Chain A
Amino acid sequence: MRILGLALRRLASSLPTLLIILVGLFLLLQLAPGDTVDALVAQMGGGDPAMIEELRRFYGLDAPVAVQLANYLWRLVSFDLGFSATYGKPVVGVILERLPATLLLMVSALSFAFAAGMALGVIAAKRVNQWPDTMISTLGLIFYATPSFWFGLMGIVAFAVRLAWLPAGGFGTIGSGLTGFAHVLDVAQYLVLPTLTLSLGFLAIYLRIMRASMLEVLTLDFVRTARAKGLAEHGVVVRHVLRNALLPMVTLIGLQAGTMLGGSVVVESVFSLPGLGRLAYDSVVQRDLNTLLGIVFVSAVLVIVINFLVDFAYAYLDPRIGAGR
């Protein structure tokens, strides 16, 4: 119960942040050349000034800026993100259609980066300053410096074009009509390369943090106690050190959530996945600012929610956090 209260208080404290984001987005929208009516008129192929005036009044664009801001905030509270001129339907609908692919990609990339980063970090820390450590750390540095979109392209060349093991892009075989488990397997095939591509940079960060954190915890007194009472090395590492060393890793998930969403823009463009990132890119190209700002808003909410969940995980891993306050 205490944990819930703490997490809820954290959630409440992120409301002002959200407000700042929304006001900032609104001001940016004011700076942008052209408004919704201009976009609509351009799509209709022009219109007479009287009708444009009428449309402006209809959309409330003739009101003072402060009133418009209030209207904008009120619409967002009721989750009305406006109308997308390019897709011809409400922005909320467009975003909800694209959200599952991005969430799937994020979850799989995060799981892979977390698991592989943890394993490599533990190995490096156990063999600190020997050749496995040097090799893993070097690999981490190279992964960190690799532009993800380039790694994705090279992955396509190697695994899709040369070896023909994996599909080059897309989200499931079109018109295959697969259902159930076969469908899951089919989509999974399409997700292998995007997952690897997106997770690469995060894997590098996780492995570095895990190594440092393991080295830190290995020097603590309770580890010596565990060894002194005759626990096998495996038991010491897994039961005692690992669990404590995981705390910074969990923090990192919350901190990196936004970066991962940003990275998905590039990865989804490389592999033509129908996700939120691809939508963001398309809306920049098509100057569909309503949709773009809607995506930014949804992403910000997503980041806040992920951090809320991370708080829970943190309290579970370290009981002192829930009880301490």
Chain B
Amino acid sequence: MRFLRLYMRSPAAVIGLALLAGVLFLAASADLFYPRDPLSLAGRPLAWPFENPRFLLGTDSSGRDIAAQIFHGARISLLIGVVATVVAIVLGIVVGAIAGFYGGWIDDVLMRIAEAFQTVPSFLLLLVLVAVFGSSITTVTLAIGIVSWPAPARLTRAEFLTLRNREFVQACRTLGLRDSAIIFREILPNAMPPLIVYSSVVMALAILMESALAFLNLSDPNVASWGNLIGLGRGVLRTQWYVSAIPGVAILLTVLAVSLVGQGLNDALNPRLKSR
């Protein structure tokens, strides 16, 4: 309760939460309002928004309802964002915890690998993974998770380095706890707050990466992704610019919501920093 009050203190965080609730509503009610396949033909192509009351946001160049694609696209964006973030954070926690807890050569090797991942531009690595493994929604999501793990790993490692010599960890060692129990049951919960905050950054970047990939026609063409729609609208940009404009606003608001909520969580989890 105290946490909730701290969170609600910041207007930006409240706006973020409201926006996020809006996107969640779009995703949850997609089947309710638009039960048909959003990628099926709905009417005359390239109708402007509000021109036809049946298509509030108009239709794209293939005669598909843009509003339906926005609703169903919210699902894809959130799904890819959440799953890719979980993959990146879990990978990052495992690698970072092992590196930070054991130190020595294990740390050296793991951090070298993380550095290698960070030296290659992550979007280029994503292109390579998609080129090699194909671009179904599963591989795209996993690939985004795989290119995003080094930063959470470094964060986890830094937390573990400061925590591993604390008294409570030494007490656990004296009690004869196994390493895995110390790492995951004792240290990790203490290292979690910054990781939770950082996962909002990972998620925002994951949503942006997927939309860029979809815009370039390199993501799954069989799902109603906002990026796909922007890519499609590019062909009619000079006259029917709304086809690209509308899904772009949806991406912007979703990423904004995730970032604002992350910032709100950060301020609520570290109330002392707020006064600065």
Encoded as 1 (CB less than 8 Å from any A CB) or 0, chain B from 235 to 276 comes to 001100100110010011101100110000000000000001
Chain B's closest residue to A146 (CB) is B252
Q: Is B128 an interface residue (CB 8 A)?
A: yes
Q: Is B171 an interface residue (CB 8 A)?
A: no
Q: Is B14 an interface residue (CB 8 A)?
A: no
Known contacts A21-B119, A303-B119, A292 near B211 by CB under 8 Å = no
Known contacts A16-B112, A28-B128, A28-B132, A149 near B212 by CB under 8 Å = yes
Q: Is the CB of A303 within 8 A of B121?
A: yes
Q: Is the CB of B112 within 8 A of A296?
A: no
Cβ of A310 to closest chain B Cβ, rounded Å: 13
* Cα distance, A191 to B116, chains bound together (Å): 31
Chain B interface residue count, Cβ-Cβ cutoff 8 angstroms: 47
Q: Is A14 an interface residue (CB 8 A)?
A: yes
Residues in A with CB closer than 8 Å to B255 are 144-147
Q: Is B1 an interface residue (CB 8 A)?
A: no
Q: Is B130 an interface residue (CB 8 A)?
A: yes
* Cα distance, A141 to B131, chains bound together (Å): 32
Residues in A with CB closer than 8 Å to B217 are 285
Q: Is A317 an interface residue (CB 8 A)?
A: no
Q: Is the CB of B119 within 8 A of A292?
A: no
Q: Is the CB of B124 within 8 A of A157?
A: no
Q: Is the CB of B244 within 8 A of A150?
A: yes
* Cα distance, A168 to B208, chains bound together (Å): 23
Q: Is the CB of B123 within 8 A of A300?
A: no
Q: Is the CB of A300 within 8 A of B131?
A: no
Q: Is the CB of A292 within 8 A of B128?
A: yes
Q: Is the CB of B130 within 8 A of A156?
A: no
Q: Is the CB of A266 within 8 A of B218?
A: no
Encoded as 1 (CB less than 8 Å from any B CB) or 0, chain A from 87 to 128 comes to 000000000000000000000000000000000000000000
Q: Is the CB of A141 within 8 A of B259?
A: yes
Q: Is the CB of B119 within 8 A of A32?
A: no
Cβ of B246 to closest chain A Cβ, rounded Å: 10
Q: Is the CB of A147 within 8 A of B112?
A: no
Q: Is B179 an interface residue (CB 8 A)?
A: no
Residues in A with CB closer than 8 Å to B127 are 265, 280-281, 284, 292
Q: Is the CB of A150 within 8 A of B252?
A: yes
Q: Is B66 an interface residue (CB 8 A)?
A: no
* Cα distance, A29 to B129, chains bound together (Å): 10
Known contacts A14-B119, A284-B218, A145 near B124 by CB under 8 Å = no
Q: Is B113 an interface residue (CB 8 A)?
A: yes
Chain A's closest residue to B242 (CB) is A157
Q: Is the CB of A269 within 8 A of B216?
A: yes
Q: Is B120 an interface residue (CB 8 A)?
A: yes
Chain A's closest residue to B134 (CB) is A33
Chain A's closest residue to B227 (CB) is A147
Partner of A296, one of B115, B125, B208, B253: B125
Q: Is the CB of B116 within 8 A of A21?
A: yes
Chain B's closest residue to A257 (CB) is B121
Q: Is B118 an interface residue (CB 8 A)?
A: yes
Residues in B with CB closer than 8 Å to A289 are 131-132
Known contacts A16-B112, A17-B112, A299 near B123 by CB under 8 Å = no
Q: Is A153 an interface residue (CB 8 A)?
A: yes
Q: Is the CB of B121 within 8 A of A153?
A: no
Q: Is B215 an interface residue (CB 8 A)?
A: yes
Partner of A215, one of B123, B128, B133, B276: B276
Max count, chain B CB within 10 A of own CB: residue among A28, A148, A258, A261: A258
Q: Is B234 an interface residue (CB 8 A)?
A: yes
Give residues of chain B (193-232) contacting chain A, Cβ–Cβ below 8 Å: 204, 208, 211-212, 215-218, 227, 230
Q: Is the CB of A292 within 8 A of B131?
A: yes
Max count, chain A CB within 10 A of own CB: residue among B120, B121, B122, B244: B121
Q: Is the CB of B256 within 8 A of A157?
A: no
Q: Is the CB of B118 within 8 A of A284?
A: no
Residues in A with CB closer than 8 Å to B123 are 259, 261-263, 265-266
Cβ of A314 to closest chain B Cβ, rounded Å: 18
Q: Is A304 an interface residue (CB 8 A)?
A: yes
Q: Is the CB of B248 within 8 A of A296?
A: no
Cβ of B152 to closest chain A Cβ, rounded Å: 15
Chain B contacts to A: CB under 8 angstroms: 12, 112-113, 115-116, 118-133, 204, 208, 211-212, 215-218, 227, 230, 233-234, 237-238, 241, 244-245, 248, 251-253, 255-256, 259-260, 276
List 28 A-B residue pairs with CB atoms under 8 Å apart, sorted by A's residue number: A16-B112, A17-B112, A20-B116, A21-B120, A31-B132, A31-B133, A141-B12, A142-B256, A144-B255, A150-B215, A153-B230, A153-B241, A153-B244, A153-B248, A161-B238, A258-B122, A259-B122, A261-B121, A262-B121, A262-B126, A265-B123, A266-B215, A281-B218, A289-B132, A292-B127, A293-B128, A299-B120, A300-B119
Chain A contacts to B: CB under 8 angstroms: 14, 16-18, 20-21, 24-25, 28-29, 31-32, 141-142, 144-150, 153-154, 156-157, 161, 215, 258-263, 265-266, 269, 280-281, 283-285, 287, 289, 292-293, 295-296, 299-300, 303-304
